[in-house]
Chains A and B, each alone.
Chain A
Amino acid sequence: MTNVLEVKDLVVNYGKVEALKGLSLTVGAAETVSLLGNNGAGKSTTVGTISGVVRAGSGSVTAFGKDVTNAKPWDLVEMGIIHVPEGRRIFSRLTVHENLQIGGYTVTDGKAIDTRIKEVYELLPRLAERRNQQGGTLSGGEQQMLAIGRAMIAAPRLLMLDEPSMGLAPLMVAQVMDVVRSITEQGTAVLLIEQNARAALKVASRGYVLDSGTVTIEGSADELRADPRVVEAYLGA
């Protein structure tokens, strides 16, 4: 099985602060991999670097066998690597439908966009109900669904979700994770950045725990769930 994403010895500096100190991880095809870690561990920096928003100091990022260490965000989107940024970042003054349409900005086939929007509405009927509402009037959970739905319009091959559970009630976290699960079932690889280890390890098959810019623990979701360090730090024994 070839890996969708390979990150090798990635180092990122913000001025003198070393955010990542040689981080390596892989995401396989149609696999959901979870990236756990505390605030400041370097989770968002990792996705930022992969998606081309943050410049890598050294190390390499390979996606679908191509070196994309210094690729620009728009090139990566064309390649099917879609980043759902932290804090949802939906367009709050545009309608739900327009928000979904922008997801297909790089798709030139208008029919494909329409079919995918329809698919998203089927997966997330609540969005269909609110298609003409402004994004900003949705609840937090709906906004997160919209952000994920918007990313799906581009037909991603690798979807990177940065803390989709942030600020959501536990029930909604579970629903967001259900959506993530159904996305994986469609064959999309997912890199799931989370603080909520319990929820994340339920959908992920493998996971990495990040601490101060390096991977400290890695393993299958079951191993991580049973690891006493993870239990103590994230699951609350």
Chain B
Amino acid sequence: MDLSLSDEQKQLQEQAERFVRDKYAFDARRKIAATDRGWLPENWAQFAELGWLGMSLSEEDGGYGGGPIETMIVMEQFGKGLVLEPFLPTVVLGGGMIARAGTAAQKEALLAPMIEGKKQFALAWLERQSRYNLADVSLKATKEGAGWSLSGQKGVVYNAASADQIIVLARTAGSARESKGLTLFIVDGKAKGLSRRDYPTQDSLRASELTFDKVSVGADAVLGKVDEGFGVVEDGVDRAIVALCAEATGCMDAINAATLEYIKTRKQFGVPIGKFQVLQHRMVDCFTNAQEARSMTLMASLKIDDKDPVVRAKAASGAKVQIGKSGKFCGQSAVQMHGGMGVTDELSVSHYFKRLTMIDLMFGNQQHHLTRYSNLAMAA
């Protein structure tokens, strides 16, 4: 049992801190969010140069042999800066799923360019009726010669507009909500028959509604095995959840720091409002919540490579419950303690609040994961 960072990990942490400090001041972020893409190609190129796009992939896959701890370190700093570059959909979800389920040819065609910063990905799993159920998929893929034809809709697909390839969860057999009979396809972002409605999200990211109208793909587009895509996507999402939890701990640190600073300087009744015990205790509760969030994220990061899928699932769900709970507490408390300023667009606090709120909803909220954890714990 060892909970200390290695020297290389400490360097990575400093590197990521420096990136956020240099490139993600509050006003700079606002400008990035307002660009066409919603993220900066020069930042993405810098990620590639720093080795971040391949750091968690194995050396056989062309990566640098790191793992979930490296992802955690970088995502935490991204949370502090509310970084907009699509690291989660491209590297953690797309890259990770291709590395774990892809063929040698798929890996060669996709991972090497991803590591160099030349390809981005998106995962299209959600549909309008799915809510948090990963298996609730009605987009259909039917056999068409040697390949497949995809028809149906996907929703809230983050980074779809920038993605070179979109990984699509489709039904190839079975009935709605059945986890058997799902297949993952790697679809070109510009494929014929694929149309998009792009929009910004509450937290300044970019997402799209996708319509697939007889989109043709070859047999080599299948990621993993036909009808057995659910396990791959569930595992990929669990790993993304852990990365997202790290981002949330960074958000909580930042929002707590901003609030602490504010209550030390804002004066009412002739004293800084941080002199009032009722605010002091709420601030301490925020601090404790962030500490617990960090602990659960670390535990999940240490367990997410476990051989046992139940251990991995419990770790991801457990951490997501904590993040949902702590994120809501820190976010709402920060807004409240900032008073009127907390509900403006002018301070960073509302932006962190929005991101924390969306993180809770992403891949299943606190209640969803509590139920999932509970069922897994009861079955054990």
Please say whether chains A and B are actual partners in one complex: no
Binding site for A on B (CB under 8 A): none
Binding site for B on A (CB under 8 A): none
